Amino acid sequence: MAEFETVAKTSEIPVGRINVYEVNGKRVAVCHVNGRFYAIDDVCTHDGGPLDQGVLEGELVECPRHGAKFDVTTGRAVVLPAVRPVATYEVRVEGDDVQVKVE
């Protein structure tokens, strides 16, 4: 069973930004949306592009390669050409530590 791993301090990920961390062998994009943190795979399901290099607007991240968009709160693909969701991971904040759990 996987456990939560501290990846950052809350102050290290400003609102509207994405930072990438290696957690249990996966590249995980941690997104800060209006005081809440979300974690998704850092890989577009359309062509494998790095989502952390895209634009985060509200709850949507846009892949920089072909414009696919994903809801970071659910992983759901909301704009073509992506149709498959990205994996999401549980996030918690303990004090000022951002922690992610990757199974």
Residue-level length of the chain: 103
Q: Where are the domains of the chain?
A: 4-101
Tokens matching residue 89: 């991971």
Tokens matching residue 13: 């990920």
The answer to whether the CB of 70 falls within 8 A of the CB of 84 is: no
In the CATH scheme, what is the code of domain 4-101? 2.102.10.10
- Percent of the residues in the chain that have a pLDDT greater than 90, as a whole number: 96
For the stretch 44-70, pLDDT in tens is 999 999 999 999 999 999 999 999 999
The model's pTM: 0.95
Q: Which long-range contacts (CB under 8 A, 24 or more apart) does 52-57 make?
A: 52/18, 52/19, 52/20, 54/18, 56/16, 56/17, 56/18, 56/31, 57/16
